[in-house]
Amino acid sequence: MIVFSRKGFHHWSMDDIAKQSSLSKGTIYRYFSSKDEIITTILGDLFEREFANREKMRNEGWSTSERLQNFMRISLNDLVPMLKHMPLTYELYAFALR
């Protein structure tokens, strides 16, 4: 996420990821077969977190008002650390829609 936020969605390389993570490219390729797989993993993590939060609220037995309050609290708590990555987040969502 740091590399994507700094370099933009289309202007990063595996070398950038290796440098930022202090890992070798070989180590990165052991876990990710391609740049697309890294992107897919990031998108999956973003969406999975969203879905998990919604599912938790649904299963807690809260009233509609409590669900809305908790949704807002969770959303705001998630938003603060993500602010520096917002341009990337919008790029990734647009990529996912394509």
Token output for 9 = 């969605």
The superfamily in CATH containing domain 2-97 is Tetracycline Repressor, domain 2 (1.10.357.10)
- What pLDDT sits at residue 48? 84
List the domain boundaries for the chain.
2-97
Question: Which element (helix H / strand E) includes 65?
Answer: helix 64-82
Q: Give the largest Cα separation in the chain, rounded.
A: 50
In this predicted model, what pLDDT tens digit does every residue of 34-63 receive, in sequence order?
A: 888 988 888 788 778 777 777 777 777 778
**In whole angstroms, how far apart are CA 66 and each of 55, 69, 71, 75?**
14, 5, 8, 14
pTM (global) more than 0.75: no
The answer to which of 17-26, 45-54, 59-68, 79-88 has the lowest mean pLDDT is 79-88
